[in-house]
Amino acid sequence: MSNQAANNIFYAQSGGVTSVINASACGLIETARKHPELGKVYAGRNGILGALREELIDTSQESDEIIAALRHTPAGAFGSCRYKLKSIEENRAEYERLIEVFKAHDIGYFFYNGGGDSQDTANKVAQLSREIDYPLTCIGIPKTVDNDLPITDNCPGFGSVAKYVAVSIREAGLDVASMCESSTKVFVLEVMGRHAGWIAGAAGLAAEEEGDAPHVIVFPEVAFDKAAFMRKVKSCVEQFGYCAIVVSEGAHYADGTFLAEAGGKDAFGHAQLGGVAPTLANMIKDELGYKYHWAVADYLQRAARHIASATDVEQAYAMGKAAMEYALAGKNAVMPTIVRVSNKPYSWRVGEAELSAVANVEKMMPESFITEDGFGITEAAREYFAPLIQGEDYPPYANGLPQYARLKKILTEKKLPAWQE
């Protein structure tokens, strides 16, 4: 089969979704629609599972207006999944099934929108297609709220979560400050971040003057020292009347044990975390006796399109657009990246990285971003984070509520026997 014949496109969303992943889908689909030489853009229903099950959403059935509305619609419009393909050696049949589905539907382009595990999958599919001489262009599109992909300066999805948690801790801090004289003295906000404290760190932007919330940030990069933590909390309450704390879900003791390990594992083999906020709050109550409230940002932080960062939306769209342009330029097994050109004024451009260099590599927050006491962020961190939360990009509202895209999600006809899961 020649490259000319296989001119259809397969796009899939992977892993935890974000408030701007659909903006990347929008960038890719709108760019593809400008190229008549390209065929249809199929989207996997529920991510890569859509390819394995031959459940391909025909995006040509969606109007230009609906595709444009993806830019301001949160979550994964086509469905995502936490399904990790094993290595080719362990489960070659899955990869061969992907290629079989691509062949059956004349798919010559594969775009995988996700984090490190997803870029690894895209790279493996690229390897197999070369091995069996099937002409397939595989391009990764970066996405993760955790901001832990290497090479790219930051990841689409992160800036909006950063903005949400900074806004949330500022507002909650004002609430607690109002009540602390006779009531709540401690507020704990738990945010995402398994091994990297980028989200927790970004919350520190809310503290612009001494005494502003958050007073304490608990990072996964710094082993949790209970005695030092209690001293810090006590000192804040005595000095400011209250203490607002942001804690990363991945906070852990020196021996690596998470403060709140739920015991289970997800599909990627990562320990399931949750409950670090109540764990910390109860610890403070037992030790210091302070009345507390706690909250878990959970899905709210990554779904909050209403308070998305305009920078993040722009970059997410650009990554989808660049991915399509890279494919048309003949590039393969690469991922577009965000390259920071300068901080003040902030400017960036699109770069590229080999998928093999991105796959399964986690980028930790630099030590230089964390204050010496381990509970705050430095000026270097502020310089990095601040541009990423800049600007507002509100969705359209009607009846007091944001209006998001509702897709038809029409599946194309199957051509192959059912996949045996």
Catalytically annotated residues: 146
What 3 state SS string does 339-394 have? Answer: EEEECCCCEEEEEEEEHHHHCCCCCCCCHHHECCCCCCECHHHHHHHHHHHCCECC
What 3 state SS string does 38-107 have? Answer: CCCEEEECCCHHHHHCCCEEEHHHCCHHHHHHHHHCCCCCCCCCCCCCCCCCCCHHHHHHHHHHHHHCCE
d(CA 213, CA 244) in angstroms, rounded, equals 5
d(CA 5, CA 137) in angstroms, rounded, equals 13
Would you state the structure tokens that stand for residue 117, as one six-digit string? 């595990």
- Which amino acid is residue 176, in one-letter code? V
Contact 245, 187 (CB under 8 A): yes
d(CA 240, CA 238) in angstroms, rounded, equals 6
d(CA 11, CA 320) in angstroms, rounded, equals 10
Cα 50–Cα 418–Cα 116 angle in degrees, nearest 5 = 30
Quickly count: other Cβ atoms within 10 Å of residue 275's Cβ. 16
3-state helix, strand, coil in the chain (%, to 5): 40, 20, 40
d(CA 157, CA 13) in angstroms, rounded, equals 13
Which residues have C-beta within 8 Å of that of residue 149, sequence separation ≥ 6?
Answer: 115, 116, 119, 142, 155, 358, 361, 363
d(CA 318, CA 325) in angstroms, rounded, equals 10
Going 173 to 210 to 250 to 77, the CA torsion angle's sign is positive
Residue 69 dihedral angles phi and psi, to the nearest 5°: -70, -15
